[in-house]
Structure 1
């Protein structure tokens, strides 16, 4: 299962945890993915989609 949004194409980002002594350790900032079911009028069935919350907002505007 890949951690990529199917609508916007967003994926994980690299970053650093910085401690009080300013020691940097690498971390991964994952996308806030939600699995949703969307009704397809052309196929006349439900489709499961993994969408980021930003992609979900754009879907709400369209639908």
Structure 2
């Protein structure tokens, strides 16, 4: 299963981990995903989605 938010389509970001001696090693910053049951107005039923925490905070604005 892909680590992608179903609402905002956020996905992993490539970054560097920088040590004290400034040696850079590549790392991946994943999205903070949670599986939530959300009431869908368009489908008129509960839907299970993998949603990022940023999307959970703004779900009342999105009208899924």
Q: Name the TM-score, length of structure 1 as normaliser.
A: 0.84
Bigger CA drift: 11-20 or 51-60? 51-60
- Once residues 20 and 42 of structure 2 are traced to their aligned partners in structure 1, the CA distance between those partners, rounded to angstroms, is 55
Structure 2: segments with no counterpart, 5+ residues: none
Q: CA RMSD in A?
A: 1.6
Counterpart position of 1:37 = 37
**Mind listing any 5+ residue stretches in structure 1 that lack a counterpart?**
none
Counterpart of 1:58? Answer: 58
Cα distance in 1, alignment partners of residues 32 and 14 from structure 2? 15
| 1:16 equivalent in structure 2 | 16
TM (norm. structure 2) is: 0.83
